[in-house]
Structure formats: structure tokens, C-alpha cells
Amino acid sequence: MKKIVNTPNAPKAVGPYSQAVEANGMLFISGQIPIDPAAGVFVEGGIKEQTEQVLKNMGAILAEAGMTFDNVIKTTCLLSDMDNFAAMNEVYARYFTKDMPARAAYGVVRLPLGALVEIEAVAAR
């Protein structure tokens, strides 16, 4: 059975999808972009600020599901410019500090609403 996970502490979905879905002890978090949920707009700044907001949004979803970043087993990072990889990684490393999840990172042509970064995750109990 699946359970929809939704929190006002992360941005509302910008399309026909859920913030996250839990099934069989696994949490599938949709790609998060750097929208400040309180203001409903992108955070100001560059890749570091955007990555910080993306991970804050992810943390809010994890918390709503009763999980933390320690529960994350896989992430996928999408970057609008691979030249931003090192700066994104610097922020990412502050959230994932031990028993790192598996990860893939891709450079893409464009991300929703002009974001510089989008990150999705899978977590497990």
C-alpha cells in the first residue's frame, strides 16, 4: 500500500505529482527545486544557495515521513551546468555526513522554472 507524504514546509508540487510517496518502508522523494515554501519563490543567489534550499526542502519531507538524511539510500542530482558540480557537492556534503547514499549526477539542458539544481531521493526505514 502506498502513502502520500505532503508537508507545507516544502514547496507544493508544480505539476501532477506528490512531494513523496512511501511504500513498503521506502520513501520516494520527487525532485526538489530551490523554492522557498514560505515565500513561494526561488531563493536568491547562485548554485550554493539553491542547493541549500533544495536540501532544506528534502529535509522537511523526510521529517514529515519520520525520517532523516541518514535514511536516504540514493539521490539523483540534476544540474543545469556541470561547472556547478563542485559548489553543489560542497553544500551536499554538509547534509550527507556519514554512510553516504548512492548517487548519480547529470548535466541537463534545462530544469523546471529555470532552476540551477534539482535533487530527488529514495530513503528507507
CA distance 85 to 47: 9
CB neighbours of 48 closer than 8 A, spacing ≥ 6? 87, 88, 90, 91
Question: CATH code for 2-124?
Answer: 3.30.1330.40
Categorize the per-residue pLDDT at 13 as very low, low, confident or very high, splitting at 50, 70 and 90. Answer: confident
The per-residue pLDDT for range 62-111, each reduced to its tens digit, is: 999 999 999 999 999 999 999 999 999 999 999 999 999 999 999 999 99
CA distance 72 to 58: 10
Other CB atoms within 10 A of residue 114 CB: 9
Write down the pTM of the prediction. Answer: 0.96
Check residue 87 and give its pLDDT.
Answer: 98
CA distance 121 to 114: 20
